[in-house]
Amino acid sequence: MGFRTALSKGLLNMSEVKQELKAQVELFHELTGHLPPHMDGHQHVHVLPEVRHVFAEVLEEYGIRYTRVPIEPGLHQCDWIPPSLMDFYLGVEEDSFNTVDVFTRHGIRWPDIYIGLSTMGKNMSVSNIWSAIDTAIVEFTSKAPSPAHPTPQSGTVTIELMVHPGYPSVPPVGGCGEGPDDFSQSWERLHELQTLIKPELQSHYKTRNIQLCSFKDL
């Protein structure tokens, strides 16, 4: 949130943002021996005004083909999301819509469907995941194709399910930035982990002919 505040006040230098992005890509390459097949921003900062442009430039420069565009079908109907959080999500959605053309111009792609805001933390359940997938597929198949998402030749649709499986952080360790935040310390991360490994969910994937993969497989 501090990053967003600084941006709104005009306190960020985009040349420094670009320098930081490149430094992170270089460090990733140094540590792993290869470039990331996918890159996005924590709390979706990569779709913010101004940032989206330098972010796209860095991805194109390094040949990183995939990112995230957090526009979730059916989000507006999710009445279980608290108003304050929904306001943040809708702001992310608006920024994402305004980012699509920028990413497309730089040859960057993203999965056909994004899901994760409505199924995050305590809201994650097998039934919620499937409801989100069903809603998204119906909406996607009713849309006209776009350059970033041409009509699938094989009938295959790609979906990114954003998740945060793990264990509660114990201060001062964990989190991003200056120590763990409330979500990082909560039981909700373990709840996500336990939900995602349920045999019921794995069985459902097989029944629906859904194959789990990573961005490097696309």
What are the phi and psi torsion angles at 78 (to 5°)? -85, 85
Q: Is the dihedral of CA 83, 2, 28, 44 positive or negative?
A: positive
What are the residue ranges spanned by the domains of the chain? 2-208
Whether this model's pTM surpasses 0.95: no
Average pLDDT of the chain, as a whole number: 91
pLDDT at site 144: 59
Q: Express each pLDDT in 85-140 by its tens digit.
A: 999 999 999 999 999 999 999 999 999 999 999 999 999 999 999 999 999 999 89
Q: In the beta sheet, which residues pair with residue 135? A: none
The Cα 119–Cα 26 span in angstroms is: 33
Banded model confidence at residue 145, pLDDT cuts 50, 70, 90 = low
pLDDT in tens, 39-75: 999 999 999 999 999 999 999 999 999 999 999 999 9
